[in-house]
Structure formats: C-alpha cells, structure tokens
Structure 1
Amino acid sequence: MDFLPIKRALLSVTDKSGLKEFAEFLHSRQVEIVSTGGTMKFLKEAGLPVTAVESVTSFPEILNGRVKTLHPKIHGGILADKDNPEHMETLKKHEIAPFDLVCVNLYAFASALQKKLPVRNMVEEIDIGGPCLMRATAKNFHSMLVLPDPKYYLRAMEEIKNPDGVSLAFRKEMSAQTFKITSEYDAMISLYLEGVGV
C-alpha cells in the first residue's frame, strides 16, 4: 500500500526520550497503544490508556522478562501483508488484530559494556525481543511503519498527520535505518563475545 493509516501501535523502548509526547499524539488520533514492561508503566503514569501485551497474547511474561512479545498474536499482527487477502483472512481466522506501527529501541548494550560485568550478567543485557520486533516490522514496510529511534518521532508525526496515511517512501527509509541499527547492535555483541572469556 502506498499510504498507511496508523490505527494500532506497539511501543516498547529503552530510551524514553520524547515518548510521552509521541504517545500523547498517537492517543489524540485514536491510535490504540499496546505496550509492555517499563514502557507500559511509564505510559500509564503519564495518564495514557495502554493495552498490555499479555492481554493481547493471553500469556504472561516469563523467564524474567526474556519472553514477552515473541508470540503469534504479536508477530502475526506485524508480519501480515495488508495487500494480501489470504494474510488478512488468516488474521481474521485466528483473531489476530493487525498492527500499523512498531516503535522499539534496544537495550543499551554499549552502556552495559562500560560496567565490565561478568559474562552471565552481560548476556542479560542482550536484547532479543526488540530486534525481532524491529526486523519483522522493517521487513514488512509495505504494510508497517517501524520507528527505531526517538529522533524520528517528529517526522513520523508529520507523516501520520497526512489524511491518507504514512508514505511508503518514509516507511522504506525507516526500514533501512532499522536494519542498519540492528546489524550494528549484533556486530557490537559479536565483538564483545569474541574478546571475552567464558
């Protein structure tokens, strides 16, 4: 689709810069906000209505938060091609609501490196769900908008204000930026693991 109206968003961020203002903007446009963990707590404290991920999945966070968003009710809603009737019928059959926007930024592994924590502690600073969400959304930019950094919020708001929806060109640009960020993130982790003992 050339233009994407934003009706449902998943917000899950480490860096909460500008998040309150962005979420308030989404709420003012009747966008349903789905969230989890610290982001959900932050948004609720800001007085915003938020749908908990576990109420979407009917499954709680497990393994000390290692598994939260890795679920078909989340990733099905992200990866469905909205131009494909078969995909949309599959969502309907399994009662999966589609997402339009995923706003995610990653655990600050670079900051954790400075603390020189033991390896067992450092692995807990490796984000798994975040990159999965980002890459899934970036792959499906024809049907989704991914926002991988707060610096894009203002441009996104201008795009969302468009009565037709967010342009394909902006969605593709955000997809490219997202894959760049996740590849750099993985490279940083790889370098760390190559240089540290077990």
Structure 2
Amino acid sequence: MSKIKRVLISVSDKKGLVEFAQGLKTHGAHILSTGGTAKALRDAGVEVTDVSEHTGFPEIMDGRVKTLHPKVHGGILARRDLESHMAQMAENGIDPIDMVVVNLYPFEQTIAKPDVAFEEAVENIDIGGPAMVRSAAKNHTHVAVVVDPADYAAITEEMKKNDGALSQETMRALAAKAFDHTAWYDGRIASYMSQKVSSRVKFPDRMIIQLEKTQSLRYGENPHQDAALYKLTD
C-alpha cells in the first residue's frame, strides 16, 4: 500500500475535480496545482499551493513552462526504496509527490473544429502534462497517476478503505491506463502533423493505426467468444 500525502493536480477537464480534491483533503493530502486548476479549487474553498511557489520558479512563456522543473519531476521519479534517491531529494530540497492527476490539453477536440488554424492546433499540444503522466506511470510503484475523471470515485473509495493509501495493483492499472492515454494523444498529434506536411511519404516505413470502439457485440465468430466493433479514427 502507498499512502498519498502530496498530490499534483493539473487538468483541462475539471469534471468532478472539486469533489475529488475534497476527498484527498480528508486524508490530509497536500495539493499542488497550476493556473486554472488552482483557481477552480480555490474558488471552491480547497486549499492549494501553486506549483510556482513549490518550485520557486514562475510560470513562463505564456504557460508553456509550468511544471518542467526538477522539484516536480524529481519528486515524481524518485524511488523511495533507494537511499541514494532519497538523499539526493534531501540535498536538493525536493519533496516527494505521491499522486499526479493530469488530463491533457484538448488537442483532439481542437482539430475537430471546422477551419481550425494550424497555429491553434499546435498551441494545444501538451508538453508538461504528458511528461508528468509518463514520469508518474514509470514510477508507479511509488506514485499513482490519474488521467481519467471516471476513476475519481473508485480511487476515493479505495483510499477511504485503506486510510488514504492505494494498492500496488491499482497503481499498476492506473499506470497502464496512463501510457494508453499518452500513446493515443501522441498518435493523434502525429496523424494531424503528417497530414500538414507537403512532402508526406505515400507509403511510410511505419504507420500508426488508431481505432475507437463503437459498440459491444453479442458474440464473436462463435457464440462462446466475446467481441466488439471498432472503427478507424479520422
């Protein structure tokens, strides 16, 4: 079991956010946050610390650089079972971060808009978010990573049963979902960008094919088989 003591929250989809943060607070979790997420939580009466205050470094370049800092990624990536990692954290004033709650800039929704400008699409390519998600997912033995608001209720319930802790099984499942999330996100970006290149290779050496589930089926080729129908994304 891993006790959740410090949580970094930075989300574009704020559905269910306040209730989830309030649940974290009941277990004594300290919340770090950025920009609009921090404002939404404060407006709802949830106490948060700005990431810029935590790192001692301001958000710069119109928010392009907010969380790309050793006090963030060191706190996420440090292995708690290695004395050398813990010593380096202490030497550099880095506090461990036990949970990362992130969902990414809405790139897919942006490019779905009719006549969207290329520049607008590029500005909605998230950099810091995927970096934190991947860092947390890599170190999932020690850090929980949450990318889907649909998981908030189950996480809250498990923490309630385990005095603010999550099981290794849950943390590994969340990590797998996180890597799926970033892989899909990067696939959509790669597909969009390749369509904007005039010298695009007609038959590239590698292709990324992304499928979306449209419905579950009664059975597969035989009655004892489970099946579902998928479609190609645009």
The one-letter amino acid paired with 2:141 is H
CA distance in 1, matches of 2:197, 2:119: 11
Other-structure match for 2:193:
193
Deviations 1:57-112 (A, max 9, x none): 11111111000000000000000001111111111111100010000001111110
CA distance in 1, matches of 2:145, 2:151: 10
Other-structure match for 1:67:
65
Other-structure match for 1:109:
107
Deviations 1:3-30 (A, max 9, x none): 1001100000011111010001111211
How many residues end up aligned between the 2 structures?
196
Other-structure match for 2:77:
79
The alignment partner of 1:96 has SS state of coil
Query: By how many angstroms is 1:159 displaced?
Result: 2.1
CA distance in 2, matches of 1:181, 1:114: 18
Instruction: Structure 2: give runs of 5+ residues left out of the alignment.
Output: 199-234
Other-structure match for 1:173:
173
The one-letter amino acid paired with 2:105 is Y
Other-structure match for 2:159:
160
Normalising by the residue count of structure 1, what TM-score does the alignment of the two structures yield? 0.96
Q: Over aligned residues, Cα RMSD in angstroms? A: 1.1
Instruction: Structure 1: give runs of 5+ residues left out of the alignment.
Output: none
The one-letter amino acid paired with 1:71 is H
Larger radius of gyration: 2
CA distance in 1, matches of 2:197, 2:120: 13
The alignment partner of 2:112 has SS state of helix
CA distance in 2, matches of 1:164, 1:114: 39
Check conservation: 2:27, 2:164, Cα contact below 8 A. no
The alignment partner of 2:14 has SS state of coil
* Greater share of helix: 1
Other-structure match for 2:134:
135
Deviations 1:151-176 (A, max 9, x none): 11111112222137210000000000
The one-letter amino acid paired with 2:18 is K
Deviations 1:34-63 (A, max 9, x none): 000110000000011100000011111111
Other-structure match for 1:122:
121
The one-letter amino acid paired with 2:186 is D
CA distance in 2, matches of 1:128, 1:78: 16
Normalising by the residue count of structure 2, what TM-score does the alignment of the two structures yield? 0.81
* Greater share of strand: 2
CA distance in 2, matches of 1:19, 1:117: 29
CA distance in 1, matches of 2:137, 2:158: 17
- Pick closer, same or farther for the CA change 1:90–1:127 going to 2, 3 Å: same
Equivalences for residues 22-37 of structure 1 within 5 A? 22-37=20-35
CA distance in 1, matches of 2:108, 2:84: 42
Other-structure match for 1:183:
183
CA distance in 2, matches of 1:174, 1:10: 16
The alignment partner of 1:176 has SS state of helix
Q: Percent identity?
A: 45
Runs of 4+ in 1 over 6 A off after TM superposition: none
